[in-house]
Amino acid sequence: MDAAERLIESTRELLWERGYTGTSPKAIQQRAGAGQGSMYHHFTGKPDLALAAIVRTAEEMRAKAEAHFSGPGTVVDRITGYLHRERDVLKGCPIGRLTQDPDVMADPALRAPVDETLAWLRARLAELMSEGRESGELDARLDPRATAATVVATLQGGYVLARAAHSVEPFDQAITGVLGLLAAFLPTAHE
């Protein structure tokens, strides 16, 4: 891995662990095993490096989600697979956590990939739910956009609850609850 890659990966880790303010250029350089000259050779400064790290994290998050969304099975199976996928719940969502970072939210360039990723996730879930309605897998009364927003809000809120309790149990309960709500729109639930 070259210096630029080590710097990006180190910044990704530090942003997830410490947030933007707590991630100093010196900490990035130390973790990456790169000097100041190397950092400023590849990036104009901390904001530029943070943007590269956030974009990489967003791309990775989308790829992991899409692997479930475009995989085999019913729409509900694919959404369930995504919600139950392996994740480091107590560390929180690497993108969702950035919404709590005032420096990231105050910088339009840093905020953009965060907003775009969460918007993509809502839109992709809504698309799947629309597909489920069209195929008859989900009841026509289901509102795909509102339900997708509920799923994403529950997922992100589940991380918050788990971190506060220092236990994955609240996260698991939230996922079970939102899947129960989605199950209420299966045609067999109304027969």
CATH topology of domain 55-190: Tetracycline Repressor; domain 2 (1.10.357)
Lowest mean pLDDT segment, chosen from 15-29, 62-76, 109-123, 172-186: 15-29
User: How many Cβ atoms are within 10 Å of 60's Cβ, its own excluded?
Assistant: 13
Q: Are 32 and 10 in contact (CB under 8 A)?
A: yes
Note the pLDDT tens digit of each residue in 56-110.
Answer: 999 999 999 999 999 999 999 999 999 999 999 999 999 999 999 999 999 999 9
Query: Model pTM greater than 0.85?
Result: yes
Confidence of residue 190 (pLDDT cuts 50, 70, 90): very low
Average pLDDT, rounded, for the chain: 94
**Where are the alpha helices (H) located in the chain, listed in sequence order?**
3-18, 25-32, 36-42, 46-69, 75-83, 102-106, 108-135, 144-165, 169-183
Higher pLDDT, 106 or 35: 106
